[in-house]
Amino acid sequence: EIGRRLFAGPAEFYWATAKIDGLPPMQDMEIAFAGRSNVGKSSLVNALTGRNTLARTSNTPGRTQQLNFFRIGPEWGQFSLVDMPGYGFAAVGKEKVAAWTRLIQDYLRGRASLARVYVLIDSRHGVKQIDTNVLDGLDRAAVSYQVILTKADALKKSELEARIAAIRQSLLRRPAAFPQVLATSSRSGAGVEEVRAAVVQLMRE
């Protein structure tokens, strides 16, 4: 209930930047969503907010390599949802990858208002090398992060449980990781409320 109210307030896209000197001023608490291209990030953001417009904005060509900021305003205070550009898209050239890496690293290092990064992992594929690189970067930058599995509907219950257990185990060695793994499906709605509850918890800390 409180989770639903969290995302029930007004939500607006207010800032996009591909350059680190173009970030919005640090005001609200920020929570960021990251993941490989096609992981289901737009779908999850839409499921969380109950809106189809937010993440579509991010998928507008030209905005995909940018950090996109949305302001969400529940009645007891607002926060920013930061949609990070998807990584690991094969068709993107080396130069773009380097630019992406620099933007993300600079953002993650200098952002006191960033409360947590949610790293989305496709349930079917598990943690790939490029995800490992991102988790390493978050550990180095000492940015609190948590793993959210997407497309949980695509696995059998036993497969999903094994996936969750293996990832949780690997996260125990990671200094900046919050070891609880959340499993979600934008298709069935499973786990969406748990993500909202996790964000509410963060806002109360």
> Could you tell me which residues are beta bridge partners of residue 72?
11, 79
End-to-end, the C-alpha distance of the chain in Å comes to 19
Tell me how far, at minimum, the Cβ of 156 lies from ligand GDP, in Å: 13
Nearest-angstrom CA–CA distance, 84 and 53: 16
> Could you tell me which residues are beta bridge partners of residue 182?
148
Tell me how far, at minimum, the Cβ of 93 lies from ligand GDP, in Å: 19
Q: Which is nearer to ligand GDP, 86 or 137 (CB)?
A: 86
Nearest-angstrom CA–CA distance, 154 and 151: 6
Instruction: Pick out residues in 72-91 that bind ligand GDP (CB under 6 A).
Output: 86
Tell which one of 71, 116, 151, 196 touches ligand GDP (CB under 6 A). 151
Tell me how far, at minimum, the Cβ of 171 lies from ligand GDP, in Å: 21
Question: Is there binding between residue 185 and ligand GDP (CB under 6 A)?
Answer: yes
Tell me how far, at minimum, the Cβ of 77 lies from ligand GDP, in Å: 27
Q: Which is nearer to ligand GDP, 40 or 137 (CB)?
A: 40
Question: Is there binding between residue 196 and ligand GDP (CB under 6 A)?
Answer: no
128: Cα within 13 Å, side-chain hemisphere: 14
Tell me how far, at minimum, the Cβ of 145 lies from ligand GDP, in Å: 17
Nearest-angstrom CA–CA distance, 46 and 150: 13
Q: Which is nearer to ligand GDP, 43 or 68 (CB)?
A: 43
> Could you tell me which residues are beta bridge partners of residue 87?
36
3-class state of residue 100 by DSSP: helix
Q: Which is nearer to ligand GDP, 169 or 188 (CB)?
A: 188
Helix ranges (H only) for the chain are: 2-6, 41-49, 53-59, 94-110, 129-141, 157-171, 192-204
Question: Is there binding between residue 154 and ligand GDP (CB under 6 A)?
Answer: yes
The site string for ligand GDP over 6-45 (x = CB under 6 A, - otherwise) reads: -----------------------------x-xxxxxxx--
> Could you tell me which residues are beta bridge partners of residue 106?
none
Q: Tell me, rounded to whole angstroms, the distance of Cα 107 from its chain centroid.
A: 14
Footprint on this chain of ligand GDP (rule: CB under 6 A): 35, 37-43, 86, 150-151, 153-154, 185-187
